[in-house]
Amino acid sequence: MQTPLNQRWRDRRDFYRRPDEQINPLRYEVAEIMDDTTPKRFVTAMHYSGSYPNARFRFGLYRAGALVGVAVFSHPMNDAVLTNVFPGNPKDSVELGRFVLLDSVEGNGESWFLARCFAQLRTKALRGVVSMSDPLPRYTADGHTMFAGHIGTCYQAHNARYLGRATARPLHVLPDGRVFSARCVSKVRDGERGWKYSAALLEAFGATPCPSTDAKRRAWLKRWVSQLTRRVSHPGNHRYAWPLVKHAGMVGTPQAYPKLDLSVLADAAKHV
């Protein structure tokens, strides 16, 4: 399948490569990474979200010994993301939580990299992989496009089954275009582990230091989320899935792939 343009990343901006470029397998290798230090640094520096998921398995794409891509297979916040597609034990499947290739990797690099990641996942007795693609562009407060959105063209190229959209939801968007996620909100509100890191995202844009007592912390959260973020309606991510074994027990009726908005394609072509 030919895809229009293939998305790449550098310094939290999206770039694009032509689909007719062919990766030279002799120049690349794929290896599992056993801890989060290196992939987390790479993903947070390069991906538009600036965030890192709850990783279970991590794989690196290397060229001449240098890391040029990372795939993070993670466990989502809600088990239903997995069990709605692969019913049963949520540990039997994973989400492709981050898939980040630098803009120097050739056009068909995603499919080549993803195939090798899946081969290694099969050795771990997993039934399947679920992934989301986010079609909603992200803009900074001054109108700069930091992310044009994507419909999962590389997933389509790798023969994923398209299962429609996830639930629509509101987002709280920070001035730099990142999302102050529902998970960040709950961490600060409930004083969960990591709440200080989440609070620091608001403090970086002018919020006063977050108090530590519950009532004051919740009042602080309500005030600064309202003042520092823009509320944006999200139409729901596109959902894709791949069974890794013959009898994966996958549910859901495959649908026709979504098509790329030509206006987004024209804008993306400026970065090719």
CATH number at residue 265: 3.40.630.30
Same domain, 185 and 248: no
5 band by pLDDT with thresholds 50, 70 and 90: confident
Measured CA to CA, the distance from residue 72 to residue 102 in angstroms comes to: 15
The pLDDT, as a whole number, for residue 12 is: 81
1 band by pLDDT with thresholds 50, 70 and 90: very low
Same domain, 31 and 119: yes
Average pLDDT over residues 187-201: 95
Same domain, 114 and 200: no
Nearest Cα to 16, choosing from 147, 136, 155, 178? 147
Are 63 and 28 within 8 A, CB to CB?
Answer: yes
In a domain, 174, yes or no: no
Measured CA to CA, the distance from residue 47 to residue 101 in angstroms comes to: 9
Q: How many other CB atoms are there within 10 angstroms of residue 48's CB atom?
A: 22
Same domain, 87 and 194: no
Could you tell me the CA-to-CA distances from 175 to 29, 48, 51, 80, 103 in Å, in that order? 38, 13, 16, 31, 25
State pLDDT tens for residues 132-190. 999 998 888 998 888 888 889 889 989 999 999 999 999 999 999 999 999 899 999 99
Report the relative pairing of strands 55-63 and 28-33 from DSSP bridges. Answer: antiparallel
Average pLDDT over residues 30-53: 94
The pLDDT, as a whole number, for residue 3 is: 43
Give the predicted TM-score (pTM) of the model: 0.86
Same domain, 131 and 240: yes
4 band by pLDDT with thresholds 50, 70 and 90: low
242, burial (CB in 10 Å: exposed 0-12, middle 13-18, buried 19+): buried
State pLDDT tens for residues 116-143. 999 999 999 999 999 999 999 888 899 8
Same domain, 92 and 215: no
In a domain, 252, yes or no: yes
Same domain, 57 and 189: no
Residue-averaged pLDDT of the chain: 91
State whether the Cα torsion 267-99-96-251 is positive or negative: positive
State pLDDT tens for residues 216-250. 999 999 999 999 999 999 999 999 999 999 999 99
The pLDDT, as a whole number, for residue 270 is: 42
Report the relative pairing of strands 93-101 and 128-133 from DSSP bridges. Answer: parallel
Same domain, 241 and 125: yes
Average pLDDT over residues 72-98: 97
Domain count, the chain: 2
Measured CA to CA, the distance from residue 192 to residue 210 in angstroms comes to: 14
Whether the pLDDT of residue 271 is over 80: the answer is no
Structural domain for 107, as ranges: 6-166+236-269
Range in 15-19, 209-213, 220-224 the model is least confident about: 15-19
